[in-house]
Amino acid sequence: MDLAAVILIQVLYAIASLVVISSGLAVIFGMMKVINLAHGEFMMLGAYATIEAIRVGINLWIAIFVVAPLAVGVIGIVLERIFIRHLYGRMVDTMLATWGLSLLLIGVVTSIAGNTTAGVSAPLGNFTIGAYSVSAYTLVIIAVGVVLALALRWVLLHTSLGLIARGTTQNPKMADALGINPGVVYSVTFAVGAALSGLAGGLLAPLTGVVPTMGGAFIAKAFITVIAGGPAILVGLISASALFGTINQIATFVTTPVLGEVALLVAAIIMLRLLPQGITGRFFKRSL
């Protein structure tokens, strides 16, 4: 019974962490059809922002939930204005340019911070379920995953910002004719996506070693989740995260963590053969 509870928590944690690391990418890809290969590096910047903020004496939670998203959001706006906006509608070029950006950001951070691992210890300590000890921070990630999904839904459905963003992505010319500047909308959307990536990086900073190349560890998982999710941003993100998180955690439990990741990625490739349009290309078609 205790074991079942622990496994349940771990599965929920795997699902929530997929939601957390993929949401920034899902917003940028889903709304703007830009595949941001620098996503992992945005997370890395968020993690560094968190660590630097803690170093100057800012509270850990403020560093994670305020400093990291703000810092990366601002960097996102700058990069969008300089590079990305020239490439809208050219998906392949955008992929290549953002890959260049990713290398560039790794290079810049390596030059500044050095190629060493920094880190903070996970807060809140552990609690026990029967004979098992679980990190309390796991519950924080699960909570953030849930809040993030609800917040995305609320912003997209119930605020004028969400309405404008959805309208602009569906028909930029019409939005333009109605007095909305699509360029500004794209900039804001990109910044929101970047901020979400920064938040994810900040959240993961206590769990992983923070190095300039840490982005590579998340990028494949995040991409595969977003692409397997399909056209509906939110439902796709959640359903794909649920599917892959469960597969990942069960395979990890049965074998090793590395084989768990491999199982996730292999499952994703097989699934794309069966459902090339992603999960929401076949099911929940009319959802958000």
Q: Does 150 bind other proteins (CB under 8 A)?
A: no
Burial 136-153 (b: 16+ CB within 10 A, else e): ebbbbbbebbeebbeebb
Q: Does 113 bind other proteins (CB under 8 A)?
A: no
Q: Does 170 bind other proteins (CB under 8 A)?
A: no
Q: What mask, x for binding other proteins by CB under 8 A, covers residues 221 to 240? A: --xx--x-------------
Q: Which of 44, 64, 68, 106 binds other proteins (CB under 8 A)?
A: 106
Q: Which of 5, 8, 78, 103 binds other proteins (CB under 8 A)?
A: 103
Torsion, CA 22, CA 25, CA 29, CA 34, rounded to 10: -150
- Shortest separation between residue 226's beta carbon and other proteins, angstroms: 9
H-run or E-run covering 249: helix 233-254
- Shortest separation between residue 176's beta carbon and other proteins, angstroms: 19
Burial 195-224 (b: 16+ CB within 10 A, else e): bbbbbbbbbbbbeeebbbebbebbbebbbb
Can you tell me whether residue 129 is helix, strand or coil?
Answer: strand
Minimum CB distance to other proteins smaller for 77 or for 272: 272
Q: Does 146 bind other proteins (CB under 8 A)?
A: no
Residue 106's region, left for phi above 0, alpha for psi from -120 to 50, else beta, is alpha
Q: In whole angstroms, give the CA distance from residue 47 to residue 248.
A: 24
Q: In whole angstroms, give the CA distance from residue 42 to residue 56.
A: 21
Contacts (CB under 8 A) with other proteins, residues 179-218: 216
Q: Exposed, middle or buried: residue 75 (CB in 10 Å: 0-12, 13-18, 19+)? A: buried
Stretch that binds other proteins, among 60-68, 145-153, 178-186, 257-265 (CB under 8 A): 257-265
Minimum CB distance to other proteins smaller for 63 or for 240: 240
Minimum CB distance to other proteins smaller for 99 or for 253: 99
Specify the amino acid at residue 133. S
Q: Which of 66, 96, 113, 155 binds other proteins (CB under 8 A)?
A: 96
Chain positions contacting other proteins, by CB under 8 A: 35, 83, 86-87, 89-93, 95-97, 99-108, 110-111, 216, 219-220, 223-224, 227, 256, 258-259, 261-262, 265-266, 268-270, 272-273, 276
